[in-house]
Amino acid sequence: MRPQATRPFVRLAPRRKRIGMLTPSSNTVLEPVTSALMAGVAGASVHYARLPVTRITLEEDAGAQFALEPMLAAARLLADALVDVIVWNGTSGSWLGLERDRDICDSIRQATGIPATTSSLALLDAYEALGIRRVGLVTPYTDDVNEAIAAQYASFGLACPARHGCGLHVNEQFACVAADTVEALIRHAAHDTEVDAVAVVCTNMDGAALAAAIEAELGKPVLDSVAVTAWQALRMAGVPQPALAERWGGIFKIG
């Protein structure tokens, strides 16, 4: 009789925290930036699902890109990976309404049992944590979208005395705004004496790598949407990373 083959002992490694992110389909910034940021985090990993988003305007059909059902379908797929938090890594709530983002989070929690947040809500929490009341906006958007963001912020007691956009509406193009242009816009907003902090409100415009150096030089917080979303997700997953502040901005010091 042939001896039975023995199965080697199987040991399961401790599971790292898992962050699920819903991302706009035409976005090419947030994933590489988040991956670079997370490279220094041993205790967590990030997993992505995409949603159809190609342009940003105030027109009704553009707003329909952010409908609830596609988000819930994508969130359910991320839930299969047993993620610890689900994030809508997009800033649509900044002009469509932050209450809308809260409804999205509630619906994701009800559908999956997993806590959820969004980039816009993460920015709001960052403003509160840092005591910011006057925000300098930097975006790739058209002026009317920036005005809509300022109106939404005003309902939460936040003023936007400086608003700088690039006049673009095609989402894929946002990622193509040159680094020196992004830096010039941030510096221009930061030099406004009425501004407490600068916020790069878009997850497809790369300001994250600039934040720490400009903060150190000018003494004002620079809050990039991608970095702030990662900050909030790590906190919600129970693995805050204050060491990331040196490269990615002071917000990471707040656990």
Q: What is the pLDDT of residues 156-211, one digit of tens each?
A: 999 999 999 999 999 999 999 999 999 999 999 999 999 999 999 999 999 999 99
Mean pLDDT, the chain, whole residue set: 95
**Crossing angle for the helix pair 225-236 and 208-218, nearest 10 degrees?**
100
Return the closest-CA partner of residue 47 out of 28, 27, 74: 74
DSSP 7-68: PPPP-PPPPPEEEEEEEETT--SHHHHHHHHHTT-TTEEEEEEEE---B--SSHHHHGGG-H
| Mean per-residue pLDDT, 14-38 | 96
| Mean per-residue pLDDT, 45-55 | 96
- Judged against a pLDDT cut of 90, whether residue 12 lies above it is answered with no
pTM score, whole prediction? 0.94
Predicted local distance difference test score (pLDDT) of residue 228: 98
Predicted local distance difference test score (pLDDT) of residue 1: 57
- Judged against a pLDDT cut of 70, whether residue 103 lies above it is answered with yes
pLDDT band at residue 3 under the 50/70/90 scheme? low
- Judged against a pLDDT cut of 80, whether residue 54 lies above it is answered with yes
| Mean per-residue pLDDT, 75-82 | 98
Predicted local distance difference test score (pLDDT) of residue 32: 98
- Which domains are assigned to the chain? 17-253 (3.40.50.12500)
Report the range of poorest mean pLDDT among 6-15, 43-52, 180-189, 208-217: 6-15
| Mean per-residue pLDDT, 106-122 | 98
